[in-house]
A and B are shown apart, each in its own frame.
Chain A
Amino acid sequence: MARLNAVSALVVPVMLCFTAIYGLYRGVDIYDCLIAGAKRGLHVMADILPALIVLLPAVYMFRESGAADMLARLLSPVFGALGIPPETAPLVLLRPISGSGANAVAGEIMASHGADSLIGRTAAIMLGSTETTFYVTAVYFSAAGVKKARYAVPAALIADLAGFIAASFAARLFFS
């Protein structure tokens, strides 16, 4: 644990150090690069901000209204049939739409069942192997100026669903 923590904490400084030294070695004006790149980064932020300003209110409303909880209760028998523990249903539903919401719900699951319980581990594996699908989709499409998402969202949700089923299976396989 301590060793892995140390390794992941070093990824950023080592990357920065390596690119700086390699750039200097190749005779590149790295400071000029950084400034030019940072300026481009600001444009990227300006491109994605409108999509987030529009998307997040809908996500917050969905959570606040109780619609998310209601859907979780409705779907929990379906999840059970797929091998997904019903206790993780709120996480499964929130994960694709809200990253911070998913972290909070996963935290609640670990608090009430224990971080080393099968349910707690399942929640952690789900969290670690999936992404905030709607956020990523909105960011990429708004930056690229795409209005019709075609099948991107269904395909990404199939990946999420496969991930949730596999996470439940993996937790049982590795930890029970």
Chain B
Amino acid sequence: MAWIWGVLVAASTVVGIVTGNGEGLGTAAVEGAKSAVTLVMGIGGVTCLWTGVMEILERSGLSAGLARITRPVISVIFPDSIGEDAEKNISANMSANLLGLGNAATPLGIAAAKELSEGDAATDNLCTLVVLNTASIQLIPTTAAALRASFGAASPFDIIPAVWFTSAISVTAGLAAAGLFRKLWRG
């Protein structure tokens, strides 16, 4: 992350000054910091509602049931043993992603991430979890469809088969890459 941040800022500053967009840079940085707070305020309420619902799922035994159903899939994606609590959270995280409940999926994924992490370097399982969550897998692409509708598409949801096809390829490529890096990555 250190390199990504450094390269983004350095490239922006150099390009901004060279192309004469320099004076907007300071404002952009301030706006970015401000929007981080607005963003968290905006999603905070919904996220807390969902972490509340998750607590019900947990105490009523529903998340254990869900984990049993998704176990075959999860054991293929995560070949190393991950423990029961992580499995429950990953299973609920994947289900929430599928339903398009991003704000519910995030705290579940984070709970799983905490269980999968050891020390300050990402474990193989944590990398896999992140890849799974950065490749959007949802049944109904609501944001994309809403955007299409607002620009006058005749039937905004007709992209669904294409989105499923694309998501499947993207997730497969990500998991294959993670599987390969798992063997080859040094450090």
Could you tell me which A residues sit within 8 Å of B by CB distance?
Answer: 1, 4-5, 7-8, 11-12, 15-16, 19-20, 22-23, 26, 28, 30, 33-42, 44-45, 47-49, 52-67, 70, 96-97, 103, 106-107, 110-111, 114-116, 120-121, 124-134, 136-141, 143-156, 158-163, 166-167, 170-171, 173-175
Identify 14 residue pairs between A and B in the complex whose beta-carbon atoms are under 8 Å apart, listed by A's number: A5-B157, A19-B56, A22-B60, A28-B56, A34-B56, A41-B49, A53-B33, A128-B166, A129-B136, A140-B126, A144-B116, A151-B177, A170-B162, A174-B165
Give chain B's interface residue range (CB within 8 Å of chain A).
Answer: 35 or more
- Does the CB pair A7–B140 fall under 8 Å? yes
Given A143-B113, A171-B162, 15 new contacts (CB under 8 A): A1-B149, A1-B155, A7-B140, A38-B52, A48-B40, A56-B32, A56-B36, A60-B29, A67-B11, A124-B153, A147-B1, A158-B173, A159-B177, A166-B166, A173-B162
Q: How far is the CB of B175 from chain A (nearest CB, A)?
A: 8
CA distance A98 to B81 in the complex (A): 34
Known contacts A1-B155, A144-B113, A147-B120; A175 and B8 CB within 8 A of each other: no
Could you tell me which B residues sit within 8 Å of A by CB distance?
Answer: 1, 4-5, 8-9, 11-13, 15-16, 19, 21, 24-25, 27-33, 35-37, 39-40, 43-44, 47-62, 99-101, 106-107, 109-110, 113-114, 116-117, 120-122, 126-127, 129-131, 133-136, 138, 140-145, 147-157, 159-163, 165-167, 169-175, 177-178, 181-182, 185, 187
